[in-house]
Structure 1
Amino acid sequence: MENITKVAIQGIKASFHEEAAVKFFGQNIQTIECSSFKQTCEILAKDEADYVVMAIENSIAGSLLPNYNLLREYNFSIEGEVYLPIQLHLMALPGVKFDNIKYVTSHPIAIRQCVDFFDEYPHLQIIESTDTAACAKRIKTEQLQDTVAIANSLAAELYELNIIERRIESNKKNYTRFLILKKEKTEEIETINKASISFEVGNYVGALSKVLNIFAEHDVNLTKIQSMPVLGKRNEYYFYVDIEWKNRENYESSLRKVLKYTVNFNIMGEYKKNDQV
């Protein structure tokens, strides 16, 4: 019997996380629905899933900062990444007219991606929820006549809702980047050309610049940098950095030099860059 990959996701069926999981792994997976990102990590830690799919940044709403804390807390290996175009639609029960709508419900990140729409309709009351698809399901289950959800077309189809306004996201080039997390690191593959690392530097002038210059000198491309305060320590920060390279030796040489100027250095994952958006 063929083993089915178990993937923990934040949200329920037809959520963007499930869509990202299918895009990375294919259809032959079992998604484990979780109510929070913390729960997905607990599921993986207990070996009740093989992987976690975790959103880490959106091109409009920015980084999901609490998830960086989870990456550090659980120290899972980043095995890959998925870029998912985000198309957000307004959906309601069949027969419901826009004029009857009083409430709009969705995930806070989805709501932030639709700020221009809400500026046009300030009378609509926003209700935040844990998951886009769950909002669509609630409208169907409770037969809410005065409420619309913001979610994807999969949710509208699954929960038999009508899309009354399409593509309400503020930027039509909207995408979310998801990380693929595994409890233990997979044996190294030859095609890796991207890494996610974290570290601290000393609190003196030019400390971070020195590290970043080393990467530049070795032709290692910095694609993202995110800082997070070190809990309980003033003016101290963790830096989370994504880097890409064409020459593996350059990458390894840069890391050896960077180690001299950093503390708590950690390679969170080495994986193949995903160019598909």
Structure 2
Amino acid sequence: MKKIAIQGIAGSFHEDAARKYFGDEEIEIVECRSFQSVCELVDSDQVDIAVMAIENSIAGSILQNYSLIRDYHLHVIGETYVHIQMNLMMLPGAQKDDVQTIYSHPVAIRQCAEYIEKYFPNARIIENQDTAMSGKILSVDQLTDAAAIGNLRTAEIYGLNVLDSGIETNKKNYTRFWVLSKHPKQNGGSNKASLAFEVGHYYGALARVLNIFAENEINLLRIQSIPIIGKPNEYTIHVDVEYKSEQNYEKAIHRVLKNVSSLSILGEYVRAEIEITNQ
């Protein structure tokens, strides 16, 4: 049975992502308080795999995680997308009229700001480390005058009733998760890669690299610059590319190597599809 490290506890969106990616395969979820702890467990061989959020369609990239992955030399072996649907949940028997306090993760609170302002303008908002922990607090402390915002798995685990579903403002909100390993994936068949590189300080340096991908019919899906600590005004460029021909991809990589000061292939894997559920 694979041990999978996640940030947060059972019932979180990270657990949703892990179970979605591994499907019917039996896995053991290992809970971690921080993303750094997740990386440490993989690095020390205490778990087999980590599942880590890397970007959200509303909140944007999680820059800290890009840096952690490089610092611990982890490899991206896959990805998955989770449609983020938020729900208001309370203890059995509690009603919305009883709500004086709302618990959730700060990003989840922002994603449901319109709903909260409309129905609970006077409620006290308490931010927590993740949505699942917010639901657990209600259950453990038996808070009948409080609600939590999170996913359906949280309600299931902690015995909460879902009073309102789909309370997020943006109905096409998703989070992308990377599946990480200490070792690169050996089998072929990949059609997507995540790369990190640095270029010199002269005009056209970045454009020259990006043109190499275009000339080899490689689609640039994402570009993100990450500041290099200790080097003001210098950045690592992270890109995700998609390709149909592995030969073209290899040719492009060889040309890119001649035009950058450093290049890291974070991972080569199969691109995941985004599935948005209609509400």
Give ranges in structure 1 of 5+ residues lacking alignment. Answer: none
Q: Which residue does 1:131 correspond to in 2?
A: 130
How far apart are 1:164 and its partner, in Å? Answer: 1.7
Conserved 8 A contact 2:185-2:268:
no
Q: Is residue 2:160 matched to residue 1:161?
A: yes
Deviations along 1:51-109, one digit per CA (max 9) or x if unpaired, are 00001111111111111111111110100001111111011112222232222211222
TM-score of the superposition, structure 2-length normalised? 0.94
Conserved 8 A contact 1:103-1:124:
yes
How far apart are 1:37 and its partner, in Å? Answer: 1.0
* One of 53, 65, 75 as aligned partner of 1:55: 53
How far apart are 1:24 and its partner, in Å? Answer: 1.1
SS in 2 for 1:222: strand
Q: Is residue 2:43 matched to residue 1:21?
A: no
* Residue range with higher mean Cα deviation, 212-221 or 201-210: 201-210
Change (3 A) 1:209 1:119: farther
Please list every run of at least 4 consecutive aligned residues from structure 1 whose deviation after the TM superposition is greater than 4 angstroms. none
How far apart are 1:124 and its partner, in Å? Answer: 2.5
Partner Cα separation in structure 1 for residue 63 and residue 145 of structure 2: 33
Tell me how large the CA RMSD over aligned residues is: 1.3
Partner Cα separation in structure 2 for residue 20 and residue 219 of structure 1: 31
Partner Cα separation in structure 2 for residue 116 and residue 212 of structure 1: 39
* One of 3, 7, 10 as aligned partner of 1:6: 3
Deviations along 1:13-66, one digit per CA (max 9) or x if unpaired, are 121111111111134001101111111111111111000000111111111111
Partner Cα separation in structure 1 for residue 224 and residue 43 of structure 2: 25
Q: Provide the identity percentage.
A: 49
Q: Which residue does 2:180 correspond to in 1?
A: 181
TM-score of the superposition, structure 1-length normalised? 0.94
* One of 26, 30, 33 as aligned partner of 1:35: 33
How far apart are 1:191 and its partner, in Å? Answer: 1.4
Partner Cα separation in structure 2 for residue 276 and residue 174 of structure 1: 10
Q: Which residue does 1:199 correspond to in 2?
A: 197
Give ranges in structure 2 of 5+ residues lacking alignment. Answer: none
Conserved 8 A contact 1:36-1:130:
no
Aligned length: 273
Conserved 8 A contact 2:103-2:126:
yes
SS in 2 for 1:170: coil
SS in 1 for 2:258: helix
